[in-house]
A and B are shown apart, each in its own frame.
Chain A
C-alpha cells in the first residue's frame, strides 16, 4: 500500500509538472501585450568595412530582383510587426516568394525560437528580434548575419543596436527611441514659458505645477518591476550622466546612482502617482494623453498618439509637444534607441530568400509603406524627414532632431545576460521606489549582480 502510494504520488507530481508546462505556455501570452512598449538599443561598431560587396545585395533588395519562385518562407512576428496582406502580396508578385505569417505574442516568440533551437530547428525563417534579445541570440548562434551598405547603415542609426562584432544580425522595422513630451498648457499655467532643457528645469517645473494645483502628479515614469523599469533607468542615466555602463561592462556608479537618486526624489517629493510604482509602462505613458501628467519621456509612437483624437483626451489635444531629452547643462546630446527588428534564423533552409525579404522590408520605399500598414515608425532618418515634410507624421516636434542623436548606451553591445541583468535592475528600482531600499542599496545590489554575471 505504502509503495503504491509513493508511486501514485510520483505520477501526481509528474502531472503537476506537466500541467505547469502548459501553464507557462499560456501565460507567456499574457505579458506580450504589456511588453509591446519595450524595445531598445545597442551595440558597438557599426563597421563600415563590410561595405563593398554589399552594394549588389542592397540593389537586389531594393528591387527584390531575385527570382525566388516556388520558395515559401515562414515569418513569426507580433501583431504590430505583421507587414500585412498587401505588402506580402507585393513581395510575392515581385519575387515569386510566398511568405506565411504567424502572429505570436511578443515574448512567446523568444521562447519558441529558443525551444526550436535546442532541437536545431528554425521556429520560422524570419522572426521578431527585439533589441534586448540580440546579445543572447548572437551568443547562441541563432541569427544569420545580414550585409548592408555603408549608406544604409548611415541612414539607419538603429542598425547599430543589432550589430555585434561588425556583424549585422537583424534589420530594424520599428523605430523607437526615447523622446520627451510635455503639456504646454500645464507649464504655461505654472508660469513656465520655455520647454525644460535640463533635469533641474524639469524638477523645478514639477514643483511649480504641483504647488499651483494644476496637476497632482506632474511627472510620469515607469518604475514597476518590468522591462520598462530598466529602460527608464537606462535612458535617464544615459541622458543625464552621459554614461550607463563602463567599458568593462560594469555599471557606472556616478551616473546610475545619480539617476536612481533623481527617480527616487520624484517619488518621495510626490510628483509621481504612487499607483505608477506597480503599474505597467503603458499605464504611465498614457497619462500624458489623458492630461493626468505634465511631463514624461516615452516611446516615439506617442508622437502619433498626441494628435489622434482616439488616443488623446479632447482637452489635451494639441497641447502636448515632443521635445529633446533634457540633460545636465542643456538638452542632452543623446537618446536611447529601443527598436524591433526582423532576423533570419541560422537554422532556416531558405536563408537567401529570407535575407532578401528582410532587406526588402527594410528598404526606404517599403518602410514608408510599413508605416501606413501597421504604424511602424521608420528607421531611416531620410524616410522620417520625408514623412514629416509631406505631413504623414503630424506634430513631430523634435522627433527628427532626436532621431539624429540616437546612441547606444551599451559600449560592448547588448550583453548576452541581458535578461538576467534587467530582472535584477527592475526589481531593485521597484524595491527602491516602494521605499524598501535606498538608492545606494539598490545600486549596490545591481552592481553586485552585474559583476557576478560578468565574472561568469
Chain B
C-alpha cells in the first residue's frame, strides 16, 4: 500500500499544475492550430470553413511576411551581438571586487527591471526626430547641423530598436555571466600565472571557455527577447511598415485585421522558425568545454 502511495503521490502533486497547463497553455495552442486551417475572419462570421494549408501558403507567399521576417532576422542578429558583448563586459567589470560592487550591480540591473513599454517611451524622447536628446547633443557638439530623423529609415530604425532592446536585455545576460565567472576556481588563474600566463591569455584560455555555457544562456534569453520585440517598436515607430517584425505582422493580422485564420497560421510559422533557433542553441550548450 505504502509502495503504491509513493508511486502515485508525484502524479497527484503534479495534477493541479497539469490541469492549469492543459487549460491555459496546451488547449489554446491546439485551438490556435485548428484555427490555422480555417478561413476565419471575424468580420465574416458566416464564412468560417476548413481550407487546409491555404492560410500557410498565403502567409509564406505574402510580401509582408518576407519583409517582416527580414526585419526580425536583422533585429535578432544585432540584439544578440549587442546583448552578449555588453552583458559579458558588464559581468567582467562587476566581477572585480570593491566597496561599490553592490551599488554597481544594482545600477546595472535597473534597465532589466524596466517594463518594455516604459523603456520604449524613454528612448523615444532620446531619439525624437525633432530636437530629441541625441539630436540636441549632436548639434551641440557640432557633429550634425540639422536634426536627424532616426526613425524614418528602415535600417536606422531597426538599429535604434536593437540598441534600445539590448540596453534592456544586457543586464540579465551580465548577471548570468557574472554568476558563471564567480564559479571559476581561483586556483586555475593562480596556476596559469605560475605558468607565465598573462591577463589576455588567462581570459582566452580560462575565463572565456568556462563562461561559454553562461554566455549561451544569455544569448538564448537575448534571442527570446529579440524575437518578441513589440513594445519598443510600437513606442518608437507605431505600426508603420518600416520597422514591423513578425510579431507586429502577427498582431496586425490577428487583432487589427481580425483575420484569426491567417494570424494563427503565422503564429505557427513563427513557432517553427524559433524552433530552429532553439535547436541551434541547445546543440551549442551541449558541447563539451575543452581548455
Contacts and interface: CB of A to CB of B under 8 A. Distances in A.
B29 interface: yes
Contacts of B198: none
Most buried by B among A6, A24, A417: A24
A30 interface: yes
Given A1-B286, A118-B260, A275 B128 contact: yes
Contact of A419 (B131, B257, B283): B257
A199 B283 CA distance: 65
Interface stretch (B89-97, B172-180, B210-218, B247-255): B247-255
Contacts of A14: 25, 29, 271
Interface residues of B, number: 57
Contacts of A277: 129, 149, 152
A193 interface: no
A273 B152 CA distance: 14
B230 interface: yes
B267 A17 contact: yes
A140 B151 contact: no
A5 B234 contact: no
Contacts of B241: 225, 427, 431
A229 to B, nearest CB: 9
A117 interface: yes
A79 interface: no
B239 A226 contact: yes
B43 A140 contact: yes
Contacts of B252: 423
A16 B234 contact: no
Interface residues of A, number: 54
A381 interface: no
Interface in A21-51: 23-24, 26-31, 34
Nearest to B259: A420
A226 B238 contact: yes
Interface in B205-259: 220, 224, 227-228, 230-231, 234-235, 237-242, 247, 250-252, 255-258
Contacts of A225: 237-242
Interface string B152-175: 100000000000000000000000
Contact of A278 (B117, B149, B276): B149
Given A16-B227, A20-B250, A31-B239, A5 B279 contact: yes
B130 A13 contact: no
B228 A19 contact: yes
Contacts of A141: 45
A30 to B, nearest CB: 5
A216 to B, nearest CB: 11
A430 B121 CA distance: 21
B40 to A, nearest CB: 9
A27 B234 contact: yes
A16 B237 contact: no
Contacts of A24: 230, 247, 251, 255
Nearest to B153: A434
Contact of A30 (B42, B117, B228, B283): B117
Interface in B108-133: 115-117, 120-121, 128-131
B283 to A, nearest CB: 6
A423 B256 CA distance: 9
Contacts of A416: 43
B118 to A, nearest CB: 10
A224 interface: yes
A139 B286 CA distance: 53
A294 B254 CA distance: 41
B224 to A, nearest CB: 6
Contact of B240 (A274, A417, A427): A427
A9 interface: yes
19 contacts: A5-B286, A6-B275, A10-B275, A12-B274, A12-B282, A20-B228, A20-B230, A20-B250, A26-B231, A27-B251, A140-B42, A225-B238, A226-B239, A273-B130, A274-B149, A277-B149, A279-B128, A419-B258, A430-B240
